[in-house]
A and B are shown apart, each in its own frame.
Chain A
Amino acid sequence: MTSSPLLWYLNRGTGVVLLVAFTATVVLGVLATGRSTTPLWPRFVTQGLHRSLAALSVFMLVAHVVSAVVDQYVDIRWWQAVVPFGGTYQPVWLALGAISLDLLAVIVATSLARARVPHRVWFLVHLSAYAAWASAVVHGLFIGTDSDKGWMVSITVGCVVAVGLAVVARIIAVLNGKRVNRKRHDRSGHDGPRRPFGPQSGVEREARHADRTPARAGSTGGAS
Chain B
Amino acid sequence: MSPRETVLRVDWPECRARGLCAELFPEKIQVDEWGYPVVLGPVKASEERAAKDAVDACPRRALHLHTT
A and B touch in the complex (CB under 8 A): yes
The complex places the Cα of A76 from the Cα of B12 at a distance, in Å, of: 51
Q: A-facing mask of B37-59, CB < 8 A → 1, else 0?
A: 00000000000000000000101
* Minimum CB distance partner of A122 in chain B: B61
Is the pair A43, B14 in contact by a Cβ cutoff of 8 Å?
Answer: no
A42: chain B residues at CB < 8 Å are 23
CB neighbors of B among A20-35 (8 A): 32-33
Minimum CB–CB distance for B33 against chain A, Å = 14
- The reply to whether the CB of A1 lies closer than 8 angstroms to some CB of chain B is no
What number of A-B contacts does a CB cutoff of 8 Å give?
Answer: 21
| Contact residues on A (Cβ < 8 Å of other chain), bracket | 10 to 19
Given A33-B18, A43-B19, A44-B23, A115:B59 Cβ within 8 A: no
A32: chain B residues at CB < 8 Å are 59
- The reply to whether the CB of B10 lies closer than 8 angstroms to some CB of chain A is no
Q: Name 5 extra pairs, CB < 8 A, besides A44-B24, A119-B14.
A: A42-B23, A43-B20, A47-B20, A119-B60, A119-B61
Which residues of A does B touch, CB under 8 Å? Answer: 32-33, 37, 42-44, 47, 114-115, 119
Q: Can you list 14 A-B contacts with CB-CB less than 8 angstroms, sorted by A residue number?
A: A32-B59, A33-B18, A37-B19, A43-B18, A43-B19, A43-B20, A43-B23, A44-B20, A44-B23, A44-B57, A47-B57, A114-B61, A115-B61, A119-B14
